[in-house]
Chain A
Amino acid sequence: MSGAAGGPAGAAAERPLPAAGRKEDARFIRGRGRFLDDITLPGMLHGAILRSPLAHARIASVDTAAARAHPMVEAVITGDMLAERGLAWMPTLSADTQAVLATDKVRFQGQEVAFVVARDRYAARDALELISVEYEPLPPVTDARRALDPDAPVIRDDQPGRADNRVFDWSAGDLAATEAAFAAADVVVTQEMHYPRSHPAPLETCGAIADADPVTGRLTLWSTTQAPHAHRTLYAMITGLPEHKIRVISPDIGGGFGNKVPVYPGYLCAIAGSMLTRRPVKWTEDRSENLMSTTFARDYHMRGQIAADADGTILAVRASVLADHGAFNGAAQPSKYPAGFFHVLTGSYDLRAAYCQVTGVYTNKAPGGVAYSCSFRVTEAVYLIERLVDLLARELGADPAELRMRNLLRPEQFPYRSATGLRYDSGDYPRALRKAMQIAGYAELRAEQARRRERGELMGIGVSCFTEAVGAGPRKHMDILGLGIADGADLRVHPTGTATLSVSCQTQGQGHETTFAQIVAAELGLSPDDVDVVHGDTDRTPFGLGTYGSRSTAVSGAAAAVAARRVRERARLVAAAMLEVDPEDLEWADGAWRVRGDPEQARRIAEIAMAAHSGLELPDGVEGHLDASAVYDPPDLTFPFGAYICVTDVDPGTGEVRVRRFVAVDDCGVRINPAIVEGQIHRGLADGIGIALMQAIAFDADGNCLSGSFMDYLLPTSVECPSPELGMTVTPSPHHPLGAKGIGESATVGAPAAVVNSVMDALAPLGVRHADMPLTPAAVWRAIKGCPIRPGPIGG
């Protein structure tokens, strides 16, 4: 089934599709994509990184003599060499610092220690084995819950005066009101839960080619980045190079999911290597390096509580969280929100009060903290509230879908200010849940479950209602390292009536070249085939903060629409001159400016564009072309939402879980390209199943990463993911120029809770209340046995 099961297609029908489907498909399907590793420059050298085998150790010495003597090696760079140039440390996106190459200590297994530049990648790798590093091992902190112990080793002793491993304390909501609501409640349910460390694991790993031209002083950096402009500014700040001399190019990107937002040490090593050798240097990481050293996601130890009246009215929610940020706080998120939008923890419900408190800690694990389609911690918050609501239903003996239905926000409450201060733009939550229940055949599923339970079979039905928060705006509240989170679009209309749109966001496979062409085409009455989209090159695109947090359509899409509307207004003046009428006498209809009352008298954009470049006497306000640009500063976040139902079967003897059905009703406002939207949902549901059932970046007690390959860090396959049954509702965002809200992360946000709720529902007859993800066969069996697997190091 597809979106055809859904309601009105919104304005989508008004936006014609390109003739040949997604514009980018032809090159990807034919193997003509150009990814970083496809690029070869004349005289290019190859870099490789020596990484720490230990999680925590002091570096006594680094001896590179043998590596330097290798006949193919051009340079060996150490932390001390970078330190001489002030480059050994770099700022992270959370205004912490991170070692580019370690000087004093290594703080996680896989940390960057030295960089070899050689004439081919084999020699570079060979030379790594010729470097000898003397380590003095230190006790590692591998369990976040031990990080604040008084005797815990201090990981960040590079920071003057630091005596513990605390990164931050942050809270939101009204504590007193929440306590009062809890005190007055008939029922309180409490649950500890761990949202495990996961990894975005894009199929293309990270890499860069740096070309520092000693003659022009220009630095060109091809790199796998979701945010080329933000990176350029960072490189200027870190290296001291003038920003106008830096060009960052992001070629085709093979998946990002947040993994390609940060600046990684490898990128800076490539830059340093190119400056030192005066030749281009390519560095690409391998799969293990990607999984072990680049930004992870989640790792939240949460204690959640929910309060309700005996009749099932939910009153309040609260949470206290221990957030594992690894060795450096590299989380990418608006700087005023160290726990992202975790305060969306009231979810889709009408609550009186809410409070959350988050403490971030350092551990001897890879740095990062926000990535993997999480909308800045909305995943964690949605998981928390949706688990709590299910546990409450259990406590009250209520049906989980009915309990949700009675507590969902009602359409007339929008715009709605949540108990933690977020302003939800629009929504009809009961409609989405009703639709999901209808597609699933909810009542019949419950009847089937009852029959199966009588036979001793374990079947589960899991419901999850989610509210997403995307777009990250306005800029006065949202910045990263002082850069306001806004995005730009430049639109050029060529004399013959085709157009080129340049945008600051960066596609990683999600079809921007199609979606943005459709946006412009619909505004200007063009075919999307006549609009090309340029992105991923700071020399060719306007400034903006890039793609993450589902913000491309929500922000850049809005910028594109605003720019197109500016073009259209200018075209009106030219059309009026062409038709010798007053601009006020024209109206835009059917893709042309038409004389009111005489619609045959009309000019299309192609005609107008040619006229604007011709000898026509141009009216005031038009200098000679139709081009326009826009910077979109979102007035607020947009709030996509949805209702998911997951049906599972559990083998009681082995603990194996089979996801039998997945019903997903999404409302992301107006859908610009329905197929692309559904593709995003399919991907996100697979993400959710993977996270819920099989994925975790695990460590042993020594801090060894146990998940450094795809044999150990599992991605779900089509066998585990049933063909989803999609439905939709369309509730436009009132403050977005297109009514669109963003869809990139919705399913990743909503799906894990549906899966876990389903498995816990299946295990309910056995008295199981909760088990942490990933619900591997072992985890399910241990839950059945009454001794669930606890978070923390494995083995030892």
Chain B
Amino acid sequence: MQVPAYVDYERATSVEHALALLARYGPGARVLAGGHSLIPMMKLRLAQPETLIDINPLTELDYVRLDGGELRIGALTRHAGLLGSPLAGAAAPILHDAERVIADPVVRLWGTVGGSLCQADPSEDLSAAFAALKATMVIAGPGGERTVPARMFHTGPYETVVAPGELLTEIRVPVAPGGGSAYVKVGRRAGDWPVGAAGAAVRLDGNVITSAGIGLTAVGAEHFCAAEAEEALRGAPATEESFARAGRLAAEHCRPVTDQRGPADYKRHLAAELTVRALRRAADRARGPGRGA
């Protein structure tokens, strides 16, 4: 049996209380959300926090709603909650595509959207999905609330801009008509982390792409996105040629590494192939009636 080291435990009852506890216990404290990443790391003693601040009682952070042209997702929303939200499915089908292939039902029932993003694993699916959607993260701290674009949220593998003493509270996704989005992932097995995955969110005017977001994960893409490919798509027709070019650019600008999931050249190929597939589906959806981002 894997056994974690000694740890103290506190249960937060509100966002303010959680922030107060984080302040009281300092850098040795760690937020506990679903625990599906943190607890395995503690068992392996890769993480040895002194105090866990359990935010599971903060049900006020468990919601998915539309507000002011934005889809707002509370940080404590479970994967299963996001997957089960018709609102999210309509406004941003990429999120349902992604959630369907993240982990397994047990992990999805308790693991949270905020926990996934704060874990900042370089293979995290939602990081790519929100990067494609150009979402905004809301962070609460002792000095109040601040917002950070999704693409500036991650500062490196397992590192984010969320400082000790802060809490991610919400993710905001812009929603506008004429948009479509999709997510495509290759794993070695159901519930496996991605070998590579790509998400796309496009907005069309007729068949012209007015804006495009491309998210990539597990392939060493900076900020989980493919900026050069997005740039090339803006104003281009939504055709196979455009998608193929975007795929090539996405592949060119990522820095995958060889590991047990696959060699770097394969992952680079996936960056191209999956970018094309995601764009194709996203554009199809954008053309379809009554679709959101």
Which of A's residues lie within 8 Å of B, judged by CB? 37, 121-122, 125-126, 129, 284, 286-288, 653-656, 693-694, 696, 698, 706-707, 711-712, 714, 716-717, 719-720, 776-778, 781-782, 789, 794-795
A777 adjacent to B258 (CB under 8 Å): no
Which residues of B (188-214) have their CB < 8 Å from a CB of A? 188-193, 195
B189 and A777 form a contact (CB under 8 A): no
Which residues on the A side are within 8 Å of B266 (C-beta)? 655, 777-778, 781-782
Are A777 and B259 touching (Cβ within 8 A)? Answer: no
Contact A121/B1 with A707-B260, A712-B260, A777-B188 known, Cβ cut-off 8 Å? yes
Bound-complex Cα distance A287 to B277 (A):
37
B292 to chain A, nearest CB (A): 28
B273 touches A653 (CB 8 A): yes
| Interchain CB contact under 8 A, B260 and A794 | yes
Q: Is B186 touching A698 in the complex (CB atoms < 8 A)?
A: no
Report B-chain residues with C-beta under 8 Å of the C-beta of A698: 260
B-side contacts of A716, CB under 8 Å: 189
Complexed CA–CA distance, A183 and B262 (Å): 41
Main secondary structure of the interface of A (DSSP, over half): loop
**Residues of chain A with a CB closer than 8 A to B245's CB:** none
Q: Which of A698, A706, A778 has the most CB of B within 10 A?
A: A778
Top 10 A-B residue pairs of the complex, sorted by shortest distance between their CB atoms: A778-B262, A719-B190, A778-B266, A286-B2, A125-B3, A706-B260, A714-B189, A694-B188, A653-B273, A654-B186
Given contacts A714-B188, A717-B104, A776-B262, 14 further A-B contacts (CB under 8 A): A126-B5, A284-B1, A288-B44, A656-B186, A693-B188, A693-B189, A694-B188, A707-B260, A716-B189, A777-B186, A778-B195, A778-B262, A778-B266, A782-B265
How many Å lie between the Cα of A82 and that of B6 in the bound state?
A: 31
**Pairs A–B under 8 Å by Cβ, sample size 7:** A693-B189, A706-B259, A716-B189, A719-B190, A778-B263, A782-B265, A794-B258
Contact B3 A121 (CB under 8 A): yes
| Smallest Cβ-Cβ distance to A286: which chain B residue | B2
Q: Is B132 an interface residue (CB 8 A)?
A: no
The one of B188, B190, B193, B257 in contact with A776, judged by C-beta atoms closer than 8 angstroms, is B188
CB pair B1–A37 under 8 Å, yes or no, is yes
With an 8 Å Cβ cutoff, the count of chain B residues facing the other chain is 31
Closest to B185 in A: A654
Question: For the complex, what is the distance from the CA of A711 to the CA of B192, rounded to whole Å?
Answer: 7
1/0 per position for B24-45, CB-CB distance to A under 8 A? 0000000000000000000011
A654 touches B258 (CB 8 A): no
Q: Beta-carbon contacts of B233-266 to A below 8 Å, as 1s and 0s?
A: 0000000000000000000000001111111011
B residues less than 8 Å from A777 (CB atoms)? 186, 188, 195, 262, 266
Q: A37-B1, A286-B1 are in contact. Are A795 and B259 (CB under 8 A)?
A: yes
Cα A714 to Cα B273 in complex, Å, equals: 24
Which of chain A's residues have a CB closer than 8 A to the CB of B44? Answer: 288
Which residues of B in the span 1-16 have a Cβ within 8 Å of any Cβ on A? 1-3, 5-6
Smallest beta-carbon distance B268→chain A, Å: 11
A287–B270 Cα distance when bound, in Å, is 31
Which interface residue of A37, A720, A794 has the most chain B CB atoms within 10 A?
Answer: A794
Partner pick for A122 among B3, B262, B269, CB 8 A cutoff: B3
Contact, CB under 8 Å: A782 / B270: no
In contact, B2 and A287 (Cβ under 8 angstroms): yes
Most chain B CB neighbours (cut-off 10 Å) among A126, A711, A777:
A777
A776 lies within 8 A of B2 (CB): no
Cα–Cα, bound, A712→B44 (Å): 15
Interface centre among B193, B260, B273, B277 (most CB of A within 10 A): B260
Chain A residues positioned under 8 Å from B263 (CB to CB)? 778, 782, 789
Chain A residues contacting B6 (CB-CB under 8 Å) are 122, 126
A125, A656, A707, most chain B CB atoms within 10 A = A125
